[in-house]
Amino acid sequence: MFALKKLLGALLMPLPIAMLLLMAGTLAWLLRRRRGACLVWIAAVALVFAASLRPIGNGLLRPLEYRYPAVLNAASIVPAPDYVAVLGGAFAPNDGLPVTAALEADAVVRLVEAIRLMRQLPRARLLVSGGSVNGNPPSARGYASAALALGVPADLIVVLDSARDTGAEIREIRSLIGASPVLLVTSAAHMPRAMAYCTLAQLHAVAAPAGNRTRPPGSWTVSALVPSGSSLHNSELALHEYLGMLALRIGIT
């Protein structure tokens, strides 16, 4: 199921869909359905163009990122959380690189935010999560190594390194800490789906989103109508989360 979910999630993105449309258009052209082929080609180009525009990418991502407010002062939370948990991200170690380079950029942001919050809660422990994906070591171990390098004492780090997706991570955290309150750190766009899993698992979690990619809407400029890779990436991130929440709603966990 894990591999199937990953495959479907990768295919149901603008670029793969556009590639399938281009192939379908080419087939239609070879079958002498010229008008239909042109329409399918136009649809493929329009899909990628639209997804690469800043108003589209930001418009899709922003509602996810600002559903939960950032936690500026963890010490004000009542009851005080016993743990600060950071959900997994990609980890690909390389002997020639520091551990902070082996973690993907979003994972580094998540970890730094978790450590910032942990230091505001003197009695809290840092819970790092994430199993092995694509043959790489578990991301939880990468988090633990980076946290040690950033000065977090080893006895305050709890490693959960078996879960490979969000639902399994949340269930593993719930199994470990029970009803104890936890500050949950993940990327801002990923937080709504993570909190939905917390509700299902009855985990007492306080959302602590990190790494917002969008800002409140401002005035438009001409550059907003120029396609960009970053806007396409924002569209892909948003669509991935919406698809994940749809799957959760229909019972695919």
pLDDT digits (tens, 9 = 90+) for 134-145: 888 999 999 999
The count of domains in the chain is 2
Give yes or no: residues 99 and 200 share one domain: yes
Residue 245 lies in a domain: no
Is residue 221 scored above 90 in pLDDT?
no
Residue 233 lies in a domain: no
Contact 206, 71 (CB under 8 A): yes
Q: Given pLDDT bands bounded at 50, 70 and 90, which one contains residue 218?
A: low
Give Dmax (Cα) for the chain: 71
Domain that holds residue 81: 70-210
Is residue 222 scored above 90 in pLDDT?
no
Structure tokens at 30: 């070879």
Residue-wise pLDDT for 16-34, tens only, equals 999 999 999 999 999 999 9
Residue 235 lies in a domain: no
Give yes or no: residues 41 and 137 share one domain: no
Give percent of the chain with pLDDT exceeding 90.
Answer: 85
Residue 174 lies in a domain: yes
Give yes or no: residues 131 and 36 share one domain: no
Structure tokens at 188: 């801002």
Is residue 253 scored above 90 in pLDDT?
no
Residue 9 lies in a domain: yes
* 3-state SS class at 126: strand
Matching residue, tokens 């299902």 = 200
Give yes or no: residues 37 and 76 share one domain: no
Predicted TM-score (pTM) of this structure: 0.92
Query: In what side-by-side order are the strands of the sheet with 83-86?
Result: 157-160, 125-129, 83-86, 182-187, 205-210
Give yes or no: residues 183 and 75 share one domain: yes
Give yes or no: residues 89 and 197 share one domain: yes
Give yes or no: residues 119 and 48 share one domain: no
Residue 128 lies in a domain: yes
Give yes or no: residues 195 and 90 share one domain: yes
Give yes or no: residues 143 and 179 share one domain: yes
* Cα gap 74→79, rounded to integer Å: 10
Residue 215 lies in a domain: no
Give yes or no: residues 81 and 142 share one domain: yes
Give yes or no: residues 119 and 149 share one domain: yes
Give yes or no: residues 152 and 107 share one domain: yes
The CATH number of residue 188's host domain is 3.40.50.620
Residue 92 lies in a domain: yes
